[in-house]
Homo-oligomer: A and B are copies of this chain.
Amino acid sequence: MNIEEKSSLKELIKSQKPNFPLEQRFYLDPTIFNLDMKTFFFNQWIIVGHESRIPEKGNYFLFNIKNESIIIIRDDNGKVNCLYNVCRHRGSKICLENEGSTKNLVCPYHAWSYKLDGNLKSARLMDEDFCSDEWSLHKCNSIIFEGLIFINFSNKPDNFNEFIKPLKPFIELHGLGEAKIASRRKYPTMGNWKLTLDNFHECYHCQPSHPEYCEVHSSDYIKAYGAGSNTGPLSSEFMKELLTWNKYAKKIGHHIGEYTESKFSNFFRSAERTPFSKGKLSETKSGKPASTIMGKFKEFDGGYTTIGTSPFNSLLMSNDFATIFTFIPKGPLETEVEIMWLVHKDAKKGVDYNVDKITWMWHETTLEDKKIIENNQNGVMSKKYIPGPLSQMEVGLEKLKSWYLNHLELILGS
């Protein structure tokens, strides 16, 4: 980006109005998209999977984003390694299948062979001064926390412990380290990643667009908390329910409360525990549990845990299963939404849990969102798209937007 472009972008950022969505350029410009990737996606700790997907030595899967492909593989010591899928010789991809199992990582081109930790094992016919140690596969920053595989593409990643700290008790409560994947689905969405997240960060559209969601959650909850705590108008009704439930859950020793960012930082995290409607125990059609209880729960407490680790991941969890979202920007007009449903590792399919019951709500809702977002993208392309005023239920979207704009401003400098 040259100086002129930079200065025009800075002006654009300044001209965005509070309580209105972003202007058109933010939703389609390839220059802004590339800046977004560098500034946000490639700088955050992203959950790309759960280690139960690769239980045995040599098991691997790929995480692909734009031109990057990461091999996520379990090595001989049981450690999960995240390695760039690029041979150090002439750059060929090494793993060609999206998942599989292998003893060594052998490049299909010239047969350079790497150990499962990425170290070069053998390369034929190299000059005498060739030093194998210098040609290990590039590593991607990664950490396993509670079974969740986090990666970070940054050269200077934020400290993971500092990052995870406020979310830790919420995640640990659910015992994801003792979980397994019940189902995994992808929802390719032809919309800019920010339009896709705008949708996820407000529940103003839930009533007209999501019958399944509205069947499961109470209208008071949706209004006030549908897109996170205090993202809609205050509901004294729901606050009363929440206080009552908090007392009960605390009494039986379950973690409660909420976390929101109090000051601007690299992180955009949130977490909260809230009660389902009276009588409901899980985020299912019937409200009844659909699998065995997980983690530290002593009994089904009728509570719901919602966590955002970054704009790119959300964890929505009942006592018996977890629904984990990853939002992967594919291009200025394309985002892939991946959902992974986790249950207790010992739960038996068809006996202890039923995949359809677990996936029902968010599968249907995400299909609906895909359509909504694509219509939104189509409309936003018009020269007559001018941001309109946000409603009282779009506070979450406004928060995300502010954080985004502040970040860009910081990156572009003064």
**Residues of chain A at the chain B interface (Cβ within 8 Å):** 19, 21, 24, 67-69, 84-94, 96, 108-111, 123-127, 130, 135, 138, 198, 204-205, 207-209, 232-233, 371-372, 375-376, 378-389, 391-393
- Chain B residue at minimum C-beta to C-beta distance from A111: B208
Whole-angstrom distance between the alpha carbons of A91 and B86 in the complex?
41
Q: Which of A19, A89, A126 has the most CB of B within 10 A?
A: A89
Chain B residues closer than 8 Å to A84, beta-carbon distance: 382, 384
A159 → chain B closest CB, angstroms: 23
Task: Give this chain's copy count.
Answer: 3
Partner among B125, B233, B380, B386 whose Cβ is within 8 Å of the Cβ of A391: B125
Q: In the bound complex, do residue A382 and residue B91 qualify as a contact, i.e. CB atoms below 8 Å apart?
A: yes
- 19 A-B pairs in the complex with CB atoms less than 8 angstroms apart: A21-B91, A69-B379, A69-B382, A86-B379, A86-B385, A87-B388, A90-B198, A90-B388, A91-B379, A91-B382, A92-B375, A93-B379, A108-B208, A108-B209, A110-B205, A110-B391, A125-B233, A125-B392, A126-B392
Question: Which secondary structure dominates where chain A touches chain B?
Answer: loop
Whole-angstrom distance between the alpha carbons of A346 and B93 in the complex?
46
Q: Which of A135, A233, A381, A389 has the most CB of B within 10 A?
A: A389
Chain B residues closer than 8 Å to A93, beta-carbon distance: 375-376, 378-379
Chain B residues closer than 8 Å to A126, beta-carbon distance: 389, 391-392
Q: A90-B380, A96-B375, A127-B392 are in contact. List 12 more A-B contacts (CB 8 A).
A: A67-B382, A85-B382, A89-B389, A90-B376, A90-B387, A92-B372, A93-B379, A108-B372, A108-B375, A111-B208, A123-B391, A138-B384
Whole-angstrom distance between the alpha carbons of A86 and B207 in the complex?
21
